[in-house]
Structure 1
Amino acid sequence: MTPLNRIRNFSIVAHIDHGKSTLADRLIQSTNTVSDRDMKEQLLDAMDIERERGITIKANTVRIEYKANDGEDYVLNLIDTPGHVDFAYEVSRSMRAVEGSLLVVDASQGVEAQTLANVYTAIEADHEIVPVLNKVDLPAAEPERVAEQIEDVIGIDASDACLISAKTGIGIPDVLEAIVNRLPPPHGGDPDAPLKAMLVDSWYDPYLGVVVLVRIMDGTLKKGDQIKMMQTGARYGVDRLGVFRPAMENVPALGPGEIGFLTASIKQVRDTKVGDTITHEKKGATEPLPGFKPSQPVVFCGLFPVDSAEFEDLRDAIEKLALNDASFSYEMETSAALGFGFRCGFLGLLHLEVIRDRIEREYNIELITTAPSVIYHIFMKDGSKLDLHNPADMPDPSTIDHIEEPRIKATILVPDDYLGDVLKLCQDRRGIQLDLTYAGSRAMVVYDLPLNEVVFDFYDRLKSVTKGYASFDYQMEGYREDSLVKMSILVNDEPVDALSTMVHRDRAEMRGRAMCEKLKDLIPRHMFKIPIQAAIGGKVIARETLSALRKDVTAKCYGGDATRKKKLLEKQKAGKKKMRQFGKVDIPQEAFISALKMDN
């Protein structure tokens, strides 16, 4: 086992695309952890979708052995964390497993919204932070300005920041020395104390079952030990222990301060909760590590196969994905318009997109996604409280006392020129401005926004009004009461459950009118008139009428008395009236998909 003072555990925090994964590649390469022949870009991002989108979705880890300038051998454990807000809980657990962070900032772009969010997570976890300015080889790089910006906005001394280019390898030896000299070794940690290990992450391997990434806080974990999970109470025997260099390598034991993996014939990722404490079954620890909370889905939406014959394939695909992703929940649902499908819960919009892309790509199933909705708290007049996931399940409004919706605190960094557009966008989405400060030529706006206004298309709108220059990050703030109503859409007097949404009372009319106009263009004309209405309860708030196709029944009349024509037209009119009574309106699936994409 490595002595504590020779171990350094650290993570790399940065905004998307500021060069986290590339820096990890260079650190691995310059210490010869991986031979040049096996080296590839974004080595730690294993999933196709991670490589394609250039984002990290799962936290990954690698153990690097480094001989420092003082002649000593050090073990460096790097955890490469996701930078995206949807995976914030995974990030906070990874942060608790290490003692220091490298803060990577792009020397041409400066501090962005997620740089802030991730640094604050690191500061909350009591990290020592070493600033690293990346991309200094670019002509647009301004390291002095960015170093000042880091001091102004974050309040960290950046005078001795490492200047590097992760792509070309400039300055990498300085980073390795800074890790050894400026980051602290693991604190405490007694090899003879009862075992306490934090479960940092887990994933499913078809050959080994669930692989669990652990950080040992106290005690020693050996192969063959009987362990127990303190949150779930489940018991297992350890089959193998090892470390990642980035390939799996078996070791006989893991001691305090070390990060490694274990397998124990665990069947499902659901059985391993991120943040849980692992201890020995006999003579184990009595108190778990602090800060555990189960992951809560925030955004819900329905997934339906375009071809209803593919429902069983979709069930298979969802079950396989859920094996590997404990934060993704699902249950079956049926819809009159879309057939059988699943109601799924996600951590956020990026999580939803990733799962949807994986189902479409890895299992070749075309999907219809209903409009994403959030969880509302409904307080009834009899004092009970319900959680509403799907607007179609809303109880009778006369029994409801009030409804609360989730709110978020959003931080937006935007260049001066676009500030007015951003403020207008946030006001339109019922936002409450909390703060507005400047960092150089960029404004930092903090808003309190309702989550249901953000899940639709807030991000796309923000990018389009700022030509892509704004960066956006948010965190959940809790629930607040507001005047919310369920808006139903009726086609030919029949409610269409897949199109019902929750809206704010003041906005209902505008949104209802937009929805009706949109459906009028999408539904094909029938032989009879079709009314399309938006209603709240029994009150219609918007209406469009789709006119009927007309068949010329008088074509066979040549001359003669006018009453002949009249008689035929009257007969047609009666037929249409009857048809409207019994006729069924076919709404094509393309109409659903287009109607559910929110209007601008």
Structure 2
Amino acid sequence: MPFAASRYTARVNVRNFSIIAHVDHGKSTLADRIMERLGAMGERDKRDQTLDTLELERERGITIKSTPVRLTYVRPPQEDGTGGESYTFNLIDTPGHVDFNYEVSRSLAACEGVLLLVDASQGVEAQTIVNAYLAIDSNLEIIPVINKIDLPAADPEGAAQELEDVIGIPAESAVFASGKSGIGITEILEAIVDRIPPPPGDPEAPLKALIFDSFYDAYQGVILFVRVLEGTLTPKQPIMLFNSGKTFDVDKLGTFTPGLIVSDSLPAGAVGWVAAGIKDIHDAQVGDTLTQKDRPTPEPFPGFKPAQPVVFSGLYPTDTEDYRKMRDALEKLKLNDAAFTFEPETSEALGFGFRCGFLGLLHAEIIQERLEREYDLDLIATAPAVVYRISLTNGTIFETQNPAEFPTRDRISATEEPYIKLSIMLPEEHVGPVMQLLQERRGSMITMNYVGKRVELLYEVPFAEILYDFHDRLKSISRGYASMDYEQIGYRDGDLRKVDIMVNNEIVDALAVIVHEDKAYGIGRKIVDKMAEVIPRQMFPVPVQATIGGKIIARATVKAYRKDVLAKCYGGDISRKKKLLNKQKKGRARMKQIGTVEVPQEAFLAVLSTDE
């Protein structure tokens, strides 16, 4: 079988790898240099962060989506007479932020090895450790790269030693490089060839391909990003999606450069894309296995553990007519981001919208911005909340993140809130202020470790406490040197309360919040004061109150417009003035009984915005 043999030889010269690191350690810049060296970027295409295709990624300088690209490396002649062989590299650039960890885990499933980047001036950071263990758990070959060695504050040997001390990767195996100036790129390419194994898999076996990403194209339907594990994908081939059992015929397939390039086949070990006329976005689930219809693989690839959203927020279109357009946009975004969830909800104040689930605050911010930019929507986002667990007196237990579903106190037997294990890496001089901040956020210390010249703090903290301004406060206290990472560790008992906001003695449902009892007064006070500022004045005083179970804990008053009824009284007896003032008072009381207060949308925006 000469055809199979030649295909197998081609696969021996294939290397599938990802670049993983902490935020800002130079993944996308290093990817640029590798692409430049291998001739994948013409002079006209040259730009920074080539693999960051979203406008939002380029603006913020962060990677949000994993992006694959196929490159060709011809090995230079070696002293021993070898060299000249051609290798195909499938490179996947990944995000570094903790909120996009799910993207990283999906990319690693399509690889045999990784480049683990460490900034020579910053050393090992919180997310470096998490990503390294993700690669170790996936049994991938790790090539440590000490990046940015040309910076004035760089300490490459120290960073390599820190990597060995913290993660156990030998310091002598590290490659020293600079993604900016191109130092060490040849050594990295040689290490990829020598250390990362070729992909396994028999091209003649029944087809088995893992879907690791997808997006929606208006003309071709759903485009699947696949890693072929066994068999060969060809055009016109009848395929089946393992989970749904739906069948399609392959229309086109190909590789990434990083644009979509059409090719005639994808053999075992290849990373590429497939268009098969899939119109319904629910048919193509990330993590599903693609197989041949008439010769299916006996068992699917294990796929991915579905990502569970941990932060929830309501998204409402400011124009109610955009509701359907928003639903279509959310469905298309979900296809491209499997960690995002949504379900319809209504609010008396804001109308029809969706309760959306995210992996973190940055994830929520990015989704909202993508909806506004890519789908031309104008949105209101309610304040983010975590999922609480409530035990009722009748023995039932349920979970909720929506204050509207929070039961009355007499029906609750216990309430629990989610906790996280928070790891913070920072210089020693900032430890005191950061520990004070964690104490304010109801954190309890587990341990403190010295890692080289820096300190790692491990704390258990209620997740709700780090949702708002924690990251900003941490960065400002540590002058930008602290880095954080967290993982969920389950639920703990917490004394939770629902704070209702009343305007003119009527409850406004959209403003209710679930908070810990210790923070209830402070948050109630903040919302009440903010509302009193933004609600327009009426002809009568308007009370704004924060209540817990009918008990008022904070109050502010929107003062009434004052008509000067004493203007015509020049002197004379005081009783005449009192008579006019009493008459005005009665009129106001009557007006208050029949008057209603319209709360403008700007008031909701001011209070519900995540900045507050």
Q: Shorter chain as normaliser: what TM range? A: over 0.9
Q: 1:595 to 1:247 in 2, by over 3 A?
A: closer
Q: 1:564 to 1:313 in 2, by over 3 A?
A: farther
Counterparts of 1:311 and 1:280, CA distance in 2:
39
Q: 1:191 aligns with which of 203, 211, 232?
A: 203
User: Match of 2:223, SS?
Assistant: strand
1:404 aligns with 2:411: no
What is the number of equivalent residue pairs in this alignment?
599
Matches within 5 A, 1:147-546: 147-187=160-200, 189-306=201-318, 314-315=326-327, 317-318=329-330, 320-322=332-334, 324-546=336-558
1:113 partner amino acid: A
Query: CA offsets per residue over residues 122-158 of structure 1, 9 Å max, x none?
Result: 1111111111121222222221221122122222112
Counterparts of 1:351 and 1:559, CA distance in 2:
67
Q: 2:153 aligns with which of 131, 140, 164?
A: 140
Q: How far apart are residue 21 of structure 1 and its match?
A: 1.0
Q: 1:27 aligns with which of 20, 27, 34?
A: 34
1:163 partner amino acid: F
Deviates more, 1:295-304 or 1:380-389: 380-389
Residue pair 1:269, 1:324 contacting (<8 A) in 2 also: no
Query: CA offsets per residue over residues 276-296 of structure 1, 9 Å max, x none?
Result: 222222332232222532333
Q: 2:16 aligns with which of 6, 9, 12?
A: 9
Deviates more, 1:354-363 or 1:121-130: 354-363
What does residue 82 of structure 1 align with?
95
Counterparts of 1:403 and 1:291, CA distance in 2:
35
Q: How far apart are residue 575 of structure 1 and its match?
A: 1.1
Deviates more, 1:287-296 or 1:488-497: 287-296
Residue pair 1:202, 1:269 contacting (<8 A) in 2 also: no
1:102 partner amino acid: L
Deviates more, 1:229-238 or 1:93-102: 229-238
Q: 1:39 aligns with which of 46, 49, 60?
A: 46
Unaligned runs of 5+ in 1: none
Q: 1:2 to 1:64 in 2, by over 3 A?
A: farther
Residue pair 2:240, 2:293 contacting (<8 A) in 1 also: yes
Q: How far apart are residue 105 of structure 1 and its match?
A: 1.4
Residue pair 2:116, 2:132 contacting (<8 A) in 1 also: yes
Q: How far apart are residue 327 of structure 1 and its match?
A: 3.4
Residue pair 1:270, 1:326 contacting (<8 A) in 2 also: no
Q: How far apart are residue 181 of structure 1 and its match?
A: 0.7
Query: CA offsets per residue over residues 291-332 of structure 1, 9 Å max, x none?
Result: 532333222212234455655664565455445444333333
Q: How far apart are residue 350 of structure 1 and its match?
A: 1.3
User: Match of 2:497, SS?
Assistant: strand
Q: 1:139 to 1:280 in 2, by over 3 A?
A: same
User: Match of 1:217, SS?
Assistant: strand
Query: CA offsets per residue over residues 557-579 of structure 1, 9 Å max, x none?
Result: 23444332222111111111122
Residue pair 2:67, 2:258 contacting (<8 A) in 1 also: no
Q: How far apart are residue 77 of structure 1 and its match?
A: 1.1
Residue pair 2:384, 2:610 contacting (<8 A) in 1 also: no
Counterparts of 1:281 and 1:476, CA distance in 2:
40
Counterparts of 1:415 and 1:496, CA distance in 2:
46
Q: How far apart are residue 431 of structure 1 and its match?
A: 1.9
Counterparts of 1:278 and 1:402, CA distance in 2:
46
Counterparts of 1:455 and 1:145, CA distance in 2:
34
1:74 partner amino acid: Y
Unaligned runs of 5+ in 2: 1-6, 77-82
Residue pair 2:281, 2:332 contacting (<8 A) in 1 also: no
Deviates more, 1:11-20 or 1:385-394: 385-394
User: Match of 2:269, SS?
Assistant: coil
What does residue 95 of structure 1 align with?
108
User: Match of 1:15, SS?
Assistant: coil
User: Match of 2:565, SS?
Assistant: coil
What does residue 55 of structure 1 align with?
62
Residue pair 1:457, 1:598 contacting (<8 A) in 2 also: no
1:64 aligns with 2:71: yes
Q: How far apart are residue 504 of structure 1 and its match?
A: 0.9
Deviates more, 1:63-72 or 1:565-574: 63-72
1:89 partner amino acid: Y
User: Match of 2:228, SS?
Assistant: strand
Identical aligned pairs, as a percentage? 53
Counterparts of 2:37 and 2:438, CA distance in 1:
46
Q: How far apart are residue 444 of structure 1 and its match?
A: 1.0
1:276 partner amino acid: D
User: Match of 1:102, SS?
Assistant: strand
Q: 1:5 to 1:307 in 2, by over 3 A?
A: closer
Query: CA offsets per residue over residues 38-94 of structure 1, 9 Å max, x none?
Result: 333222111101111111111111111111232222111111112222222221121
Query: CA offsets per residue over residues 214-233 of structure 1, 9 Å max, x none?
Result: 11222222222222222333
Q: How far apart are residue 553 of structure 1 and its match?
A: 0.8
Counterparts of 1:425 and 1:412, CA distance in 2:
12
Q: How far apart are residue 365 of structure 1 and its match?
A: 4.0
Query: CA offsets per residue over residues 14-38 of structure 1, 9 Å max, x none?
Result: 1122111111111111111333333
Q: 1:266 to 1:384 in 2, by over 3 A?
A: farther
Q: 1:499 to 1:133 in 2, by over 3 A?
A: same
Q: 1:599 to 1:169 in 2, by over 3 A?
A: closer
Q: How far apart are residue 101 of structure 1 and its match?
A: 0.8
2:363 partner amino acid: H
Deviates more, 1:79-88 or 1:243-252: 243-252
Q: TM-score, normalised by structure 2?
A: 0.92
Residue pair 2:545, 2:556 contacting (<8 A) in 1 also: yes
What does residue 3 of structure 2 align with?
none
1:381 partner amino acid: T
What does residue 73 of structure 1 align with?
86
Q: 1:594 to 1:465 in 2, by over 3 A?
A: farther
Residue pair 1:269, 1:326 contacting (<8 A) in 2 also: no
2:112 partner amino acid: E
Deviates more, 1:299-308 or 1:128-137: 299-308
Deviates more, 1:530-539 or 1:169-178: 530-539
Q: 1:416 to 1:547 in 2, by over 3 A?
A: same
Deviates more, 1:318-327 or 1:242-251: 318-327
Query: CA offsets per residue over residues 406-449 of structure 1, 9 Å max, x none?
Result: 22222211121221222122222222222211112221112222
Query: CA offsets per residue over residues 149-189 of structure 1, 9 Å max, x none?
Result: 212222211224222221222221111001001222224x2
Residue pair 2:281, 2:331 contacting (<8 A) in 1 also: no
Q: How far apart are residue 265 of structure 1 and its match?
A: 1.0
Deviates more, 1:476-485 or 1:78-87: 476-485
CA RMSD of aligned residues (A): 2.3
Deviates more, 1:546-555 or 1:406-415: 546-555
